[in-house]
A and B are shown apart, each in its own frame.
Chain A
Amino acid sequence: MTTDRTTTPATGPDETRFALSCDGITKAFQGVRAVNGATFDVPEGLVTALIGPNGAGKTTVVNILSGSMTCDSGTEHIGGTDVTNWPSYRIARLGLMRTFQLSRELGGLTVLENLLVAAPDQAGESMVNVFFRPSAVRRQERENVARALDILETYGLFHLRDNRASDLSGGQKKLLEISRAVMASPKVLLLDEPMAGVNPALIERIGGYILDLKAAGVTVLMIEHNLSVVERICDHVIVLAEGQTLATGKLSDLRENEEVVQAYLGEVIDASTHG
């Protein structure tokens, strides 16, 4: 399956490097093509939006890129490594973290423990270390706890640290998803609608967090329906429609693109200008 790129791919200036690329990704569910040759590159160190109508296959693409799902065909590269259909734990260990559209907290664990689980390279996950190097395990655990508490403070969840994650509100769970991913010190972060269903003040805060992550050198790919958010925090936009990459580029350029406007932007622009 080949795809047409209606705009030139975002090669940008020559030195632009891509943290994540996928080429010709397809995925069918019971014969229905949810993803149909999605092809795009995610530039390193920037915030990229993945937009498109409901059911366009955005979440499915994120599932495939993060290894939560395998694809039927196509390839995926992270920083030059071919990671096509790698299991998600190996992709995660390369530094790619993702959040879920419908928050998936580890409900039986506390908020703090949710973050601690995500800490990379834990000595205490080896039985040998637990019994024969307990002081090394304890030391690392103390460091991780301190870092997790810092992150919780940054994300405004500190006061909830000892609550069971299942007891959080919807918005708090969204914050937990992001802070848990941040705990893993990701190089690439895939956010599936991080601002869906949260109040406008929190939308602002989350936008701020995302820009902070960018400033810290994290590459972000976020699915987002709110175009005013996309306009303000995303450097680059990928439009997905019916499982294909319809266009990539700056949002302002995409607004000029007939096809994109017809497939997706039209109504939204109308709604936001007249609404």
Chain B
Amino acid sequence: MSNIWYYVFTLVFFLFDYFILAMGLNIQYGETGILNFAYIGFVAVGSYVTGALALPSSVGTGQHYILGLGLPFPVNLILGGLASCGLAVVVALISLRRLRTDYLAMVLISLSLVLYDICNNFVPLFNGADGLYNVPEPFAGVLKLTTNSFIPFFAAVTGVIAALLWWVMSRITRSPQGRTFRAIRDDEVVAAALGKDVFRNQLKSMLIGSFYAGVGGGLIIQFSGSFNPTAWLPGETFVVFAVLIVGGVGNNVGMLVGSLVVETLLIHLPAFLPAIPGHPGLIEYFDSVLIGILLMAMLWFRPQGIVPERVRRALSLGAPANLVAGRGEAPGSAPGRPVPVEIATADAQGEK
């Protein structure tokens, strides 16, 4: 297979993977209003755990890591997602219950930095700065794929997983549960006054989003066979936020569009462009500049994103058409019911 296809399928993989990552951040931030600035940390935990579970025992591999169970795909991937959920529980119990959104955001940024330092420096955990490598390819024993055929194969696997996760996420966001998340996003105090257990719902949202983060991370290490701290600098969280903002906060389809624009076109495509003569490597730094400009432009001209959040109309919520049609349509004529009492007010006459 020629190089060009190798590149194309790499792009396709990252398109789907960031679609998954963006859906996870969207349920937390876009739907529930939790400003998770540590999101990339949850991705990393999923990635490391997925990798460490696929790797054999660390003895004699020249790497240091925990777990080393040699588990098959996708068992390791699911456990990687659950490991991220574990981190979410810890974070939620410590900070979610007590802190307002903005303070929580600061705590989460710090958490991201702390996680990073631990993984980068504490070698016995996930091999420190070298990270994990030589992670066995999924289905290597069964399919015996070459490197070149593995890439399109795994891009397709990721596409299937993304489609499945998209179906699950749409079910959630369309359900009354999703509506309760959005109510909490819009006003926690009101949601609580309407009987919603805000913490419990935020925890649920954190868990769902973290699972998506962990799975998205796990797919990365299974795709490339390695994962180390350079892959998840804390600033990477903002790339996922950029996908969200460009695509359209609160819309799952928007996440795919955002992933296409930000991840595929802006981040990965420039890396495949020919270098600017005399300035090798310069082009790779263009992505952050481009993302910055794009983000500003979006927030200025189209803050709702390319695919805005849906307005969920009565008919789409299951209102029978005959219930909606032909009643109450003329607000002036008969709004509601006759008024049983007269409340005399000095200047009421002019209004009637």
Contacts and interface: CB of A to CB of B under 8 A. Distances in A.
B313 interface: yes
Contact of A117 (B180, B318, B336): B180
Contacts of B187: 104-107
B204 interface: yes
Nearest to A120: B195
A229 B350 CA distance: 18
Nearest to B347: A200
A79 interface: no
Interface in B308-322: 309, 311-314, 317-320
Interface of A: 66-68, 87-89, 92-93, 97-98, 100, 104-110, 112-113, 116-120, 122-127, 130-131, 137-138, 141-142, 145-146, 149, 152-156, 158-162, 164, 180, 184, 199-201, 203-205, 207-208, 211-212, 226, 228-229, 232-233, 272, 275
A25 B103 CA distance: 30
B279 interface: no
A201 B348 contact: yes
Contacts of B317: 112-113, 116, 141, 145
Instruction: Name B's interface SS.
Output: loop
Contact of A125 (B180, B329, B331, B336): B180
Contacts of A201: 348, 351-352
A184 B338 CA distance: 23
Interface string B333-352: 00111111111111110111
Contacts of B172: 127, 130
Nearest to B334: A156
15 contacts: A88-B189, A89-B196, A108-B182, A117-B180, A117-B194, A125-B176, A125-B180, A127-B177, A130-B172, A145-B314, A154-B337, A161-B314, A208-B339, A228-B343, A229-B345
Nearest to B345: A200
Contact of B339 (A146, A180, A199, A204): A204
Nearest to B329: A159
B251 to A, nearest CB: 12
Interface residues of B, number: 58
Max chain B Cβ within 10 angstroms of own Cβ: one of A117, A130, A146? A117
Contact of A142 (B320, B324, B336, B348): B320
Given A92-B194, A205-B339, A113 B179 contact: yes
A137 to B, nearest CB: 7
B179 to A, nearest CB: 6
Contacts of B330: 159
A124 B320 CA distance: 19
Given A108-B185, A146-B320, A149-B319, A117 B328 contact: no
A122 B331 CA distance: 30
Nearest to B342: A204
Contacts of B309: 108
A176 B195 CA distance: 17
B311 to A, nearest CB: 6
A117 B343 contact: no
A112 B339 CA distance: 23
Given A108-B250, A207-B339, 12 more contacts: A98-B193, A106-B183, A110-B312, A116-B176, A127-B177, A149-B314, A156-B336, A164-B311, A199-B351, A200-B351, A204-B348, A205-B336
